[in-house]
Structure 1
Amino acid sequence: MKARYSLTTRLTVFFTLASGLVLVGLGTLVAISIDRHFVELDRDTLRDKIHLTREVIGKSKSQQDLQTRLDDVLHSHEGLFVSVLRGGKPLYATTDFQFPADLVALTQKARLGAASWQTKDREYRGMSESVSLPGSSEASIQIWVALDIAHHKHFMQGLTRVLVGYVALATLVAGVLGWWAAKNGLAPLRAMRSRAMAITAQRLDERMPTQEFPVEMADLATTLNEMLRRLKEEFDRLSEFSSDLAHELRTPINNLMTQTQVTLSQTRSSDEYRDILASNAEEYQRLARMVADMLFLAKADHGLILPSTEKIAVHDETRALYDFYEALAEEKQVRLELLGQAEVWGDRLMLRRALSNLLSNAIRYTPAGERVVIDVMGNANGTTVNVLNAGPPIDEQMIPRLFDRFFRADKSRKQLDSDGAGLGLSITQAIVHAHGGSMSVSSVDGMTCFSMHFPSTRSAGKHLTTEA
């Protein structure tokens, strides 16, 4: 299993490595610069000694005079070695020192014009130059000069040890400081974690204090607060739904249990048993409808509703529903009217169910002598179906909750003859959403309007194809 490291550890390691690399690079640059400076100093010194040797050669009258003069000039320069050659034969040479035979070639290839070489225990830097004496017809003179650079190397070795020690110590200090900075920098994240651990199903109203966090984490805290808000809304909705579901199921179940217990309390005739079974069957049908509606809504929530795609004439479907509800409308003394015509792409049975839910609600809540109007309007943006009815207005505070499951509006709109479970509008909204549409409600001046908007033929066809 791959090891998991904390963010503090990762930042500390990264900061330490970055600091170490920077310090190593800086130390290397310092060492190279100082070594280059020493090479330049040695080169200038060697050129100066060559120039001095040339002056001595120019003033010397004989080889013996040359040796004497050079001994006098060079004896005080410790670590300096000189060799003067003419035609390959030495005119002067420092005792106990051997120049490399290819010094001329080394000088030509050397960096900054100063060649370096090493013997068993010493290191030298040298230079060669050809000199032609004015007024002389003899061969040019080769001047070879070398310096013992052991003191430079000792200095560089000491400097290297100091730099290595400093880089190691500074990297360690940088690591400690990086750990401290990471630990303190991530303190708000730990505080956020503590806050999150305190949030439970009973404390979903807790929020992250965005003002206490840095700007980078404030956005995260805001996002978490928004997530907690949505979770609380959904949790409250689920709790309310569970309570409403238990309440709705309790009534028919209690009816069945009570009626069954009363029936079993004494012997009854066949007709009485038949009537009791018929009454129980009605309760079972109510339970079956409720379970089927909840299953439909559960599928809608998970995108499992896959409507078929066909062109539907909304006005034709409305006329068919008017024929079905004609008897109920006459009983309620309500007139049914149809305005406009348009077509939509969708599932015929689902669309008819949505229209039926709205139409039955409208008839139920419309006072006697009033009318229910279904107005169908189509344009380039899509088709809108408005179901309008007169009656008691809906409180504006209730409108956002009309599509909640098991929700019923205030008592002024509740009818005793209704056997619904409060799922009709939720199912209608799920059907419209499955077709890529939207729903809206308005209740003004005693007129209530439920609107279903379906997208245009082209966009609706794309939506349903994608869903399928």
Structure 2
Amino acid sequence: MLQHLSLTARLTLFFTIMAGVVVFGVGLLFMHEADQHFIDLDRMTLLDKQHLIEEILKDTASPKDLRWRLREALSHHHGLFSQVKDPSSAIIFESKDFISVPKTSEDNTLLTWKNEGIEFRAIRSQFLSVTMPASAFEITVALDTQHHQHFLNDLQRSFAIYAVLATLISGLLGWWAAHQGMAPLRAMKLRAAGVSGQQLDARMPIAAVPVEMADLARALNKMFDRLQEDFRRLSEFSSDLAHELRTPISNLLTQTEVTLNSEREGAVYRDILASNTEELQRLSRMVSDMLFLAKTEQGSDLLHKEQFSAAKEVQALLDFYEVVAEEQDIHLSSQGEGSLFCDRLMFRRALSNLLSNALRHTPTNGDVVVD
């Protein structure tokens, strides 16, 4: 799926995902720290009330005064519940609507539990009174954390909205940054699109692109150099070919037009046709030679090298020229055996040119030997 997305879209997607992960990660960390802060705050509040009760127990000698002082000190705190028991587990003081606190084996351990969907925290401890001998009191202090939960829930909702908006805004900023970052690439694309056969000298400005794209610009410039050189060679080849073919074709056309202007004897027509044949053969060799030179300029990859018998190829060419040789009373023959590793067509073309020249310059009753 990502293969079909543009580079800008990919960068935007990756940036949005990373921004979302970071924002939500920071949010989870913040929520955890906020919850831990409230836990510490509740523990400090519970310990503070516990110490207050202990101070009252220290300074009070009678149970009656103890109940009165505890009621005055602890009855005005909303969400705070406290209970004091004497050594016989009789309740000396208990806040209104006091809830049952789970048992614990350790003193001053922060307990957290839920009752009817509401989370509570409590601390239970034992205190030995000095003013009332042999009186070990059990102190339990509990706290309703519902207000903390309301705050955390509101904070969580607000942060969720903020995280979504922050991620979307980060995605838009990421798209803008990626779009701006791709500006040099778009400029290179427009510059490359302007290259044509009439404007092959255009090059990519290496100094105007970022470092990461400099290698790409150099590679494109080298490619344009090769294209310009190949186009120049092609133009020169076309020009040379037209120049070489223009004169012989013009001669053939003129000679043919002159011949057709008046009636002539059969021998004259044969001589003219023989002359045209020689000229056409020369044109054919010229075209073949120019094509061969054009191929060799492009490298040896165009040559199909193979192992073959030289004697068989020589004999095939001798058979081809046998008719021409018989008309001129020339004897063709070959000697020797061997194999070659080269382009078969190029070998036949070279040998054919040699045999053609030999037949043209060998006198009657002569011999042409391929050794």
TM-score under structure 1 length normalisation: 0.57
- 1:153 partner letter: Q
CA contact (8 A) 2:82 2:98 kept: no
* 1:99-157 Cα deviation digits (max 9, x unpaired): 24x3427x89xxx953323334643222233456689778x654322112233223323
Q: Give the 3 Å change call, closer, same or farther, for CA 152–349 of structure 1 in structure 2.
A: closer
Find the aligned partners of 1:2 and 1:158 in 2 and give their Cα distance: 38
Q: Which residue of 2 aligns with 1:306?
A: 304
Partner of 1:18: 18
Select the residue among 214, 229, 233 that pairs with 1:233.
229
Taking only aligned residues, the RMSD between alpha carbons, in angstroms, comes to 4.1
1:15 aligned partner, one-letter code: F
Paired with 1:348 and 1:30, the residues of 2 have a C-alpha distance of: 78
Structure with larger Rg: 2
| Aligned equivalent of 1:277, options 268, 273, 278 | 273
Q: Which amino acid aligns with 1:303?
A: D
Q: Which amino acid aligns with 2:304?
A: L
Query: Within 2, Cα distance between the matches of 1:251 and 1:87?
Result: 135
Shift of 1:252: 3.3
From 152, 155, 163, the counterpart of 2:151: 155
Q: Secondary structure at the match of 2:306?
A: coil
Deviations 1:314-353 (A, max 9, x none): xxxxxxxxxxxxxxxxxxxxxxxxxxxxxxx943979989
**More divergent stretch after superposition (60-69 vs 200-209):** 60-69
Q: How many residues end up aligned between the 2 structures?
A: 320
Distance in structure 2 (CA, Å) of the matches to 1:62 and 1:103: 28
C-alpha distance in 1 between matches for 2:100 and 2:233: 98
State the Cα distance separating 1:57 from its structure 2 match: 4.3
Matching residue's letter, 2:196: T
Higher relative contact order (CA 8 A, sep 6+): 2
TM-score (structure 2 length as normaliser): 0.70
In structure 1, stretches of 5+ residues that fail to align are 313-344, 357-468
Question: Partner of 2:104: helix, strand, or coil?
Answer: helix
Measure, in 1, the Cα distance between the counterparts of 2:347 and 2:287.
20
Check whether the contact 2:237–2:294 (CA below 8 A) recurs between aligned residues.
Answer: no
User: Partners in 1 of 2:253 and 2:190 — Cα distance?
Assistant: 50
Q: In 2, Cα distance between the equivalents of 1:160 and 1:270?
A: 112
**1:43 and 2:39 correspond:** no
Amino acid at match of 1:308: E
3-state SS in 2 of match to 1:194? helix
Q: 1:131, 1:141 within 8 Å by CA — same for their partners in 2? A: yes
Tell me the residue number matched to 2:342.
347
Kindly indicate whether residue 185 of structure 2 is the aligned counterpart of residue 184 of structure 1.
Answer: no
Q: Secondary structure at the match of 2:231?
A: helix
Q: Is the 8 A contact 2:75 2:95 kept in 1?
A: no
Contact 1:43 1:113 in 2 (8 A): no
Question: What is the CA–CA distance in structure 1 between the aligned matches of 2:211 and 2:53, rounded to whole Å?
Answer: 73
- What is the aligned counterpart of 2:284 among 288, 291, 298? 288
Moved more, 150-159 or 52-61: 52-61
Letter in 2 for 1:275: D
Q: Is the 8 A contact 1:8 1:183 kept in 2?
A: yes
SS in 1 for 2:84: strand
Name the residue aligned to 1:220: 216
Distance 1:170 1:98, change over 3 A: same
Q: Distance in 1 between matches of 2:181 and 2:343?
A: 61
Q: Which amino acid aligns with 1:77?
A: H
Query: Percent sequence identity over matched residues?
Result: 47
5+ residue gaps, structure 2 = 311-339, 352-371
- For residue 242 of structure 1, what is the amino acid of its counterpart? S
Within 5 A, what are the aligned runs for 1:3-82? Answer: 5-57=5-57, 61=61, 64-82=64-82
Structure-2 separation of matches of 1:206 and 1:307: 39
Cα pair 2:83 2:93 within 8 Å, conserved: yes
